[in-house]
Structure 1
Amino acid sequence: MTKLIGYARISTRNGATDGQRAELLAAGVRRDDLYVDEGSSGARAPRPQLDVAVTALEPGDTFVIVSLDRLGKSTQNVLAFAEGLSGRGVELRVLNFCGGDVDTATPPGPMLFTTMAALGQMEHEIKRERVLDSIDRRRKAGKNLGGRPRRITNRQIRNANRLMEAGEPTALVVRDFGMSRATFYRRARALGLMPDQSGDEKPEIDDAV
């Protein structure tokens, strides 16, 4: 028997869990088939309940979410996830997509993948151009990006992370920003851009944004 498997992700910055849960239940998801990750923020934050939900899916089931951003911040990653579900014979239903409820099992369903693919490509180009333009402006202003600055700002860490997510090699990105890999990973964990694997490192004090 096919089922509706629901998933909700609540970030550390937003404790409003009831909204997503209520919408998924109203869409027909049973409480026993609803999986919620609470306190998950950042593109690389662990989401154990998402893994459990995906494992529970069987061919013919439908994976239900309130909005695409519950799966991740990168449109390209979300598209890959959706295509993975399709390859397993699982449908995807998004309750709030372009102002409506879209299900890949219905005639308007292909629009979901087409739109996500277009947005993913646009997102990639925008991120890459924005960060590279910033680097170019700093070079023209005579600021040396090749050496290691005394202070790496939070903005630089976020921009470096955006470049890496857009596909730029890590070695080249950290070189352009004048930092080491270790500095980037430590600061990225402190900003919640990736999970903290050590649990005992103290983030550097940096008020710049």
Structure 2
Amino acid sequence: MGVDVSKLIGYARVSTRHQDADRQVHDLRTAGVRNDDLYVDHGVSGARASRPQFDKAVAALEIGDTLVITTLDRLGRSTQNMLAFAEALRSRGAGLRVLNLGGGDVDTSTPMGSMVFTVMAALAQMELEIKRERITDSVAKRRAAGKDLGGRRQTFTDSQIRNALRLIEGGEPATQVARDLGMSRATLYRRTRELPMSIV
């Protein structure tokens, strides 16, 4: 019986069907991951609970193996999730290696790598929270500014509503178009129904 050699298991994920995993796959191969040990999820977001190829990659890990990913966000959204996952791997005797973390290659099977991973995961989470706060703050400011203008609703011309309708017909999500106009989707639909029956 031959000597058991620890393996590198690679995982790549692209959020949309249109994105290409080639870059991630190339980086994983360069890091030493064999084709047979590569798992790729297409059209799956990090927030989604079901990631079939990710589950297969984790299931393929044996004692001494290392899961290799290109960036931290391939793992998930929250620091808590990422740290819990790294800890779960460690308890199974497997490691986690992130190729592009803080400009370097971090391996959680080493004490230094584990510490860097913890810090970077916390920073990634903090960045996400700051972005969320900025968006909330900007929406609140806009609302406040609207109230200062006498609380009157913004009026939209038929022409603006027609343009919005063209965007939706061209494939833009109705929710996004309505949000850009500063109205609800229901209001936008109501306004499109009220349009005079001339050429839309």
- Considering the TM-score relative to the shorter chain, is it more than 0.5? yes
CA separation in 1, counterparts of 2:93 and 2:13? 23
The equivalent of 2:120 in structure 1 is: 115
Alignment deviations for residues 166-186 of structure 1 (CA, whole Å, 9 cap, x no partner): xxxxxxxxxxxxxxxxxxxxx
Instruction: Give 1:10's aligned amino acid.
Output: V
Instruction: Give 1:8's aligned amino acid.
Output: A
How far 1:111 moved relative to its partner? 1.3
CA separation in 1, counterparts of 2:107 and 2:51? 23
SS at structure 2 position matched to 1:63 = strand
How far 1:60 moved relative to its partner? 1.5
Whether 1:51 and 2:55 are equivalent positions in the alignment is yes
The equivalent of 2:73 in structure 1 is: 69
Instruction: Give 2:80's aligned amino acid.
Output: Q
Whether 1:100 and 2:104 are equivalent positions in the alignment is yes
Instruction: Give 2:120's aligned amino acid.
Output: T
Alignment deviations for residues 129-176 of structure 1 (CA, whole Å, 9 cap, x no partner): 446646765785697xxxxxxxxxxxxxxxxxxxxxxxxxxxxxxxxx
Instruction: Give 2:8's aligned amino acid.
Output: L
SS at structure 1 position matched to 2:100 = strand
SS at structure 2 position matched to 1:83 = helix
CA separation in 2, counterparts of 1:104 and 1:26? 19
Q: What is the TM-score normalised by the length of structure 2? A: 0.61
Instruction: Give 2:20's aligned amino acid.
Output: A
The equivalent of 1:16 in structure 2 is: 20
CA separation in 1, counterparts of 2:105 and 2:50? 27
Instruction: Give 2:28's aligned amino acid.
Output: L
How far 1:107 moved relative to its partner? 5.0
Q: What is the TM-score normalised by the length of structure 1? A: 0.59
The equivalent of 1:197 in structure 2 is: none
Partners of 1:75 and 1:123 within 8 A in 2: no
Distance 1:11 1:106, change over 3 A: same
Partners of 1:79 and 1:117 within 8 A in 2: no
Alignment deviations for residues 51-94 of structure 1 (CA, whole Å, 9 cap, x no partner): 11111112211010111111223343223222221222211101
CA separation in 2, counterparts of 1:46 and 1:31? 23
Matches within 5 A, 1:26-175: 26-41=30-45, 43-44=47-48, 46-106=50-110, 108-109=112-113, 110-120=115-125, 122-123=126-127, 125-126=129-130, 129-130=133-134, 133=137, 137=141
Instruction: Give 1:43's aligned amino acid.
Output: A
Higher relative contact order (CA 8 A, sep 6+): 1
CA separation in 1, counterparts of 2:84 and 2:65? 18
Partners of 2:72 and 2:121 within 8 A in 1: no
Distance 1:125 1:24, change over 3 A: closer
Instruction: Give 1:78's aligned amino acid.
Output: M
Distance 1:123 1:17, change over 3 A: closer
How far 1:112 moved relative to its partner? 1.4
Q: Which has the higher helix share?
A: 2
Instruction: Give 1:99's aligned amino acid.
Output: G
